[in-house]
Structure 1
């Protein structure tokens, strides 16, 4: 093959680097009075400390952005839930946001006896079987909780994190981990540690019954999630002896509705101990200074023995174990093979085997099932847990294909692994791509922290992570064949058939009567004031200067915009065309078609393998108005990668068989979209913005698709370079150097072909409320409020930024979440946002959302409408919103090719400068009066389109009519096919 010499050069380069690496080993060191371990050759330069009380601290400094990704991780999750209180670890996670005896309370001494009464009532409720008596006890719980809530200050934790500039404040629970996550400014570490040290000292289970109802709404979301149900069924069959399969993270309906606060506290005291916890930080900090601060913040924690988790080993699977799952989404097949746990060599080999089956380009599934279009989609991936690992295979059938045929096709590829029927150089190609992926991961402080956190909670040795590429580069084909024959047979798997149909196992639980609780949102505890008063070193914002920060050059008669990569040897190249689906409906089809085509000398499979061997990728994304070709890889293979793409695009040949299969796949995908509630909701939202004919349903009809000819699509592809486009480059070369190289490989005409005229869509002006309703078999009801606003005005940007943060997108401290979730327990997820468009000719859009149990629909709509009518006032909330926007901007660094993207986005909006500066400079001027004026002008007393997806069996149409004229578009009208 003509690219073989370049590939050999790449392999030599990789081999040189692997050979030159320092021996990978654990070493000891000391600094600032603390001992730590580190791994030689670790590109993240991570330090691993164990404090005197057993607390693990992992620090990975990097100065690329003035922010820090922080995790506080507990090695306990649903696996260690008591069998009679499943879901406990998860709702304890929720309660760790409610404060302690020092924050979250107006008066702890008065609140404490009321919460004790709530404890006692819940124990009575748990131990009572008579439903009438239970209802009476719940009334008492509701009453006592309301009395206790009068002393509670809701969301003080979130307020403190918001004020210090925190982002993505959250937590998650899985099988063996509960993890609390924050992304903070680098100058807020002292405040962060002050809050976290207090947070875990003595958590108080306040405002419990409304939060528990929010957790139940989260449970409802899982009942409407076919994928989640498949995964749970698969784990049940795969692990009958381990709690991976015996209980779920979110718990059973019965246990969720019958909680024990006594059991929750017992769990906290058993597992939230320093020798079972880790603090993981990655970002801009001095580890010598930070380790002292962490030690001080958490030194009060006392170690104690951790209850051991015991389980019987799983017995070998000797015949396929089958499960059937039903739901409204498209049918599919999931298969699972069981493997040893995360900290084993077999787990690392499992990762390699997963990549050999699916890597996006040259895996067996990629080449034999996707390239040949035998399945609509197919994937293989490893899922490693502490006790066991899993190889997951997923397949979606094409039209007319049975689920058994999907199974057989995937098993046939597994058989090829066992027989060694795969390319001799596939393993090395995967290693090369993993090397590139590691370079990309280490660029990002949050990815570093995530990897370090996972290794801590799953018990993986970081030394093996650092050495994975080196280890896998020595793996041989015979070893993989032996491994596949050991673990993967035609008999030792679990298979879950997901059928389309009614799930008759869903348990319906009536909503409890909950009296909205007081939030005391304006109040502040002494602890909060203390944290707020802590001094910080200011971080100055950095603005983009589009003239200085972007290099400009020419590639022939094409403009080149470039940013130099000074960190590593990776490049990303884009060809950006200002045309898309609205200019030519064939363009998105042609972009899909290209991946199945070859040339006169090379097949489609040859191209996929060649790209993968070069550790390079290409893709074409045809949007409505912009088409982007993306090419990336190692700079030393820039020419070879670009030549591969150019050869394919210029010389691709029509393939009638591939086109026929593509049409079948597209039609099946369309059918699947019509039974997907998210896709249906997107159709309703587009209808609400543009009317019955809208961007969402603009495309080829099925009849038009049938009429498409291969030569038509080939012409679209061959003509692509004849249209004007801009070259965007991020890599080690200068703009001029990149332009010269692109010009030598990327041939364009002297005069470009004019773009085809684009169809125009105009946002509608609503004059009366209306309801767009779509029927769907689901537990919840999902509601969007949609209204087109004014034409884009950049002068509104400061007010919009603060308003959104204050009202609907600022986390738990935002008005919408506080009122609808925290106070009224109407939803797990709710938000509201005033959004600006992507180009200056378009109008703003206001959108609000709530997902709620169907029998709460009227309450939920009333709750949101009340907020849309009257904006609650909180001077403290406005100050918090301003602080968060300010500190987020101060610590945001737009880098790499993000600089070019930001410039192009600004250009579409008619801007010639960094809009963030306008927002920042005007923040101090913003007041509640400004937010109220904005709310009055843009939101209050406006007409809205309610987009509702729900089961018509659970929603009363007469109720819908109260909100506006009810329209029920059929699916063909929504989708256009």
Structure 2
């Protein structure tokens, strides 16, 4: 009997194991004459096709939104750049937006001879060393480029994509991928494919020297980034042989100064071949129909062998390599351990190691260093590429700490990992949270396409990605410890980023460029053909706040409810009408809570408890509201809510935790003063509201020092006494939500009255003024600010159209003029900003980020556009089309419905504002735009917010713009 039972049990185990192994398998199927592969139990339902010419096509249909995220991906990046032409893959990416012989050109027969001359001149320029000769050659390049541009049409790609309703049109290059991205309406897929098929057929490298100047600008931005310097130094030390470390994606200054169009074309011909490319689509479509369309669009491409990248294997690192970087940003530590490439069996364990070290809630760094406030912040992650990977750790010191002390603390947690000093059930908790993450990933068509694209360019087996969670669950604690001891020894590179004057002295100087023609009012025949292709646009779907949101009462609080019909995720929020404008200590109380426990559980134990059930909570305070967010799997709703409510009701003060928090804040305040982005944000707020503004409405250092634990705990415990709204999105009914909450979330019989909110009125610009803060940087960043008038819902349509036309995207007037024609900036825009409340004012915010030596030209160019707006009817048509198509295909779903409703309430609206915009957009004409521009912007005074180096942008240049007021960091930040 015993023997028989044992045999049955053994057979059952074998059956279970076989099922686990077989539930994720490659299968083959056919449809519409095409054979494809798929993985069983794939939540993304992805189909993998290989066309006759070798092109990979990956299709993941989902009907939730009438849109498609589209990628054309090339398995080539900076790794395969020639050593003599670094940065080549990246600036080829830029040139793939310039058109072909069929679009982007007014007269190809006349344009081509000029482009041939430019090719030859660049080859001559590339080989010439004498500075005077180089200037003479560049002058010829500039002259011939001006002639060639008369036969070119700039931005035709962007305009075509805009006309079909595309969003997010862009591209990016990394070590092993160059990816072209568009999000298009499903009804425009035929147009999109027609454009892509043509785009990669025969790209023409026109308007090259102004685009190369944009790449120069991008390079100079990286020279201003301490983070970029740290990243590049880390990789160069980890990889002494491999191109991961020996050349950067953006390239060297020297190579950027000496481009070769011949080498660019060679690179395109080598790597932009169908068997090295993939078309990845996810969204609302029929895959059987779409595969035939993709095949036809790319049928002109021919299979070609791709050069294989080879490298000398890296020598093991025998002892720690320590490097120092200095720059204006706050100090921090970065550590990298070299790992195997992404095909190695240990990579799966590496991913888990990164999560054990830090997962934001219950990792070793999270609990032992951040939660205990031994460090300001700390994180770890795996960065895995095809040939090698990195375990990447980053940490920042708290007040009074040295970077050497930070390194000791971080490496101490590596030692804990190697000794197995972590909870046995942490792996299970991580896997549960990854499962939740996978649910989120498969929800949205954009996320699906992104995951499939990354797997393609990384040459990963999709079966392994589908089986990822299942395979992770087989890893044991012993596997983790063994991995850590194998890979994480004294073989690391540490970069100590210290605060100080940057040692970077090299920058790319401004060449003399004559603005080129953009011929923005004209269209090629190809563009007209695409525009005339038939399509059936989706009908817009507007929200009905009375039908799309269910409402109930929980005592005196209102419940706003939208059901989740897709999965078992819930999101619960308590939204209290109490913010920093009522009480500056409330944000501090919200921060303090994360470091507190109760009489039964410590702060660390609470974090672990939430993480174990794949749930999380967060408390944040904004200007007007404090919001408690609890999310996770519905099966653990009761546990998660009870954990939070128990914490709030039984929270215990901790003076040591408050002391640590104050030190963290002191360090954060010191760090943020070294951040140029924060400085520009502060100057912007100063320009909008004046000296005392929302940005510097914070506790002073002395007020912060005097805050006690008792008063913060009192705020935490009293939070639930204030007026509140309960927001729920999840799979159970509104009645169930009401029943579940009424016993654990106690609503008072009468809400407490918050202190009156502090009011900040926007200032009127009566004269041109410059607000300037000095910062050591290569670039100069300038914003134009002008407050105008109170919110008016009747102006929603004209504002939408104006922003699209004037400065809201790559096809706008601002972008075409300042970047495309004049090559004065990498990033530029001009947008009329809508207020959040009906009693607030609109304001204009324009921006140019340029090289310091282009400051005068760049600011002059923007001022000219703000004074006189070009009249381009074709662009107006595109602006109207973009507004209309965006509304046709936008689907506001999930709890976004509730937040849309709440935002409308703030503006005094009772219905979805998009309906009126949609009904009136075609009535906007050029005279309307001209009147709008003249009324609000032309000839009007502005406040300029400028962050730049006084050494590179003299005060006398700023004084040309207006009266200069130099703002100290203390005045800007309020401490």
Q: TM-score with structure 1 length normalisation?
A: 0.97
Calculate the aligned-residue CA RMSD, in Å: 1.1
Cα pair 1:554 1:736 within 8 Å, conserved? no
1:878 aligns with 2:873: no
Structure 2 residue matching 1:333: 3-state secondary structure: strand
Cα pair 1:783 1:849 within 8 Å, conserved? yes
- Tell me what 1:10 maps to: none
Superposed, which structure 2 residues align to 1:174-253 within 5 Å? 174-253=174-253
Structure 2 residue matching 1:104: 3-state secondary structure: coil
- Tell me what 2:626 maps to: 627
CA displacement at 1:17 relative to structure 2: 14
Structure 2 residue matching 1:695: 3-state secondary structure: coil
2: CA distance between counterparts of 1:866 and 1:740?
A: 62
Cα pair 1:697 1:974 within 8 Å, conserved? yes
Cα pair 1:223 1:506 within 8 Å, conserved? no
Cα pair 2:73 2:180 within 8 Å, conserved? yes
Residue 672 and residue 847 in structure 1: after superposition, are their counterparts in 2 closer, same or farther (change >3 A)? same
CA displacement at 1:717 relative to structure 2: 0.1
1:850 aligns with 2:829: no
2: CA distance between counterparts of 1:323 and 1:152?
A: 48
- Tell me what 2:92 maps to: 92
Cα pair 2:114 2:145 within 8 Å, conserved? yes
Residue 19 and residue 681 in structure 1: after superposition, are their counterparts in 2 closer, same or farther (change >3 A)? farther
Structure 2 residue matching 1:322: 3-state secondary structure: strand
CA displacement at 1:18 relative to structure 2: 13
- Tell me what 1:529 maps to: 528
Cα pair 1:551 1:734 within 8 Å, conserved? no
- Tell me what 2:698 maps to: 699
User: For 1:300-353, what per-residue CA distance to the aligned partner results, in whole angstroms no more than 9, with x for missing partners?
Assistant: 111111111000111111101122111100010000011111233322211111
CA displacement at 1:959 relative to structure 2: 1.3
CA displacement at 1:483 relative to structure 2: 1.0
Cα pair 2:564 2:894 within 8 Å, conserved? yes
CA displacement at 1:878 relative to structure 2: 0.3
2: CA distance between counterparts of 1:63 and 1:346?
A: 37
1: CA distance between counterparts of 2:742 and 2:936?
A: 49
1:821 aligns with 2:819: yes
User: For 1:629-650, what per-residue CA distance to the aligned partner results, in whole angstroms no more than 9, with x for missing partners?
Assistant: 1100111111110000001111
Structure 2 residue matching 1:697: 3-state secondary structure: coil
1: CA distance between counterparts of 2:600 and 2:129?
A: 75
1:743 aligns with 2:742: yes
Superposed, which structure 2 residues align to 1:516-665 within 5 Å? 516-665=515-664
1: CA distance between counterparts of 2:344 and 2:472?
A: 13
2: CA distance between counterparts of 1:696 and 1:330?
A: 20
1: CA distance between counterparts of 2:736 and 2:125?
A: 74
- Tell me what 1:899 maps to: 897
- Tell me what 1:466 maps to: 466
CA displacement at 1:602 relative to structure 2: 0.6
User: For 1:943-969, what per-residue CA distance to the aligned partner results, in whole angstroms no more than 9, with x for missing partners?
Assistant: 100000000000111111111111111
CA displacement at 1:19 relative to structure 2: 7.7
- Tell me what 1:726 maps to: 725
Superposed, which structure 2 residues align to 1:496-511 within 5 Å? 496-511=495-510
Structure 2 residue matching 1:948: 3-state secondary structure: strand
Q: TM-score with structure 2 length normalisation?
A: 0.98
5+ unaligned residues in a row in structure 1: which ranges?
Answer: 1-15
- Tell me what 2:47 maps to: 47
Of 943-952 and 738-747, deviating more is: 738-747
Superposed, which structure 2 residues align to 1:297-446 within 5 Å? 297-446=297-446
Cα pair 1:784 1:948 within 8 Å, conserved? yes
1: CA distance between counterparts of 2:96 and 2:647?
A: 55
Cα pair 2:92 2:264 within 8 Å, conserved? yes
1: CA distance between counterparts of 2:618 and 2:769?
A: 40
Cα pair 2:220 2:507 within 8 Å, conserved? no
- Tell me what 2:708 maps to: 709
CA displacement at 1:506 relative to structure 2: 2.9
- Tell me what 1:8 maps to: none
CA displacement at 1:392 relative to structure 2: 0.5
- Tell me what 1:31 maps to: 31
2: CA distance between counterparts of 1:834 and 1:873?
A: 18
CA displacement at 1:20 relative to structure 2: 8.3
Structure 2 residue matching 1:233: 3-state secondary structure: helix
Cα pair 1:552 1:736 within 8 Å, conserved? no
Cα pair 2:554 2:747 within 8 Å, conserved? no
CA displacement at 1:924 relative to structure 2: 1.1
Cα pair 1:646 1:745 within 8 Å, conserved? yes
Cα pair 1:211 1:822 within 8 Å, conserved? yes
2: CA distance between counterparts of 1:694 and 1:420?
A: 50
Of 639-648 and 751-760, deviating more is: 751-760
- Tell me what 1:679 maps to: 678
Structure 2 residue matching 1:367: 3-state secondary structure: helix
Cα pair 1:24 1:463 within 8 Å, conserved? yes
User: For 1:680-737, what per-residue CA distance to the aligned partner results, in whole angstroms no more than 9, with x for missing partners?
Assistant: 1111001000110011101111111110000010000000001110000000112222
Structure 2 residue matching 1:345: 3-state secondary structure: coil
5+ unaligned residues in a row in structure 2: which ranges?
Answer: 1-15
CA displacement at 1:22 relative to structure 2: 6.3
- Tell me what 1:932 maps to: 930
- Tell me what 1:806 maps to: 805
Structure 1 residue matching 2:604: 3-state secondary structure: helix
Superposed, which structure 2 residues align to 1:469-484 within 5 Å? 469-484=469-484
User: For 1:497-550, what per-residue CA distance to the aligned partner results, in whole angstroms no more than 9, with x for missing partners?
Assistant: 111112223303321000000001111111000000000012100000000000
- Tell me what 2:173 maps to: 173
User: For 1:452-480, what per-residue CA distance to the aligned partner results, in whole angstroms no more than 9, with x for missing partners?
Assistant: 00010011111111001111112111111
Structure 1 residue matching 2:807: 3-state secondary structure: helix
1:796 aligns with 2:798: no
Structure 2 residue matching 1:427: 3-state secondary structure: helix
User: For 1:865-907, what per-residue CA distance to the aligned partner results, in whole angstroms no more than 9, with x for missing partners?
Assistant: 0000001011100001111111111000000000000000000
2: CA distance between counterparts of 1:305 and 1:737?
A: 61
User: For 1:222-259, what per-residue CA distance to the aligned partner results, in whole angstroms no more than 9, with x for missing partners?
Assistant: 01111111000000001111100000000001111110
1: CA distance between counterparts of 2:298 and 2:733?
A: 48
- Tell me what 1:690 maps to: 689
Structure 2 residue matching 1:696: 3-state secondary structure: coil
Residue 441 and residue 591 in structure 1: after superposition, are their counterparts in 2 closer, same or farther (change >3 A)? same
- Tell me what 2:512 maps to: 513
- Tell me what 2:775 maps to: 776
Cα pair 1:561 1:900 within 8 Å, conserved? yes
2: CA distance between counterparts of 1:336 and 1:247?
A: 18
- Tell me what 1:669 maps to: 668
User: For 1:407-466, what per-residue CA distance to the aligned partner results, in whole angstroms no more than 9, with x for missing partners?
Assistant: 110101011111010001000000000000000111010010001000100111111110
2:965 is aligned, of 963, 967, 973, to 967
- Tell me what 2:7 maps to: none
- Tell me what 2:6 maps to: none
1:289 aligns with 2:286: no
User: For 1:162-218, what per-residue CA distance to the aligned partner results, in whole angstroms no more than 9, with x for missing partners?
Assistant: 000000100000001000000000001100000000000000000000000000000
Structure 2 residue matching 1:326: 3-state secondary structure: strand
1: CA distance between counterparts of 2:67 and 2:345?
A: 35
Structure 1 residue matching 2:911: 3-state secondary structure: coil
- Tell me what 2:13 maps to: none
2: CA distance between counterparts of 1:589 and 1:538?
A: 49
- Tell me what 1:57 maps to: 57
- Tell me what 1:9 maps to: none
1: CA distance between counterparts of 2:103 and 2:508?
A: 34
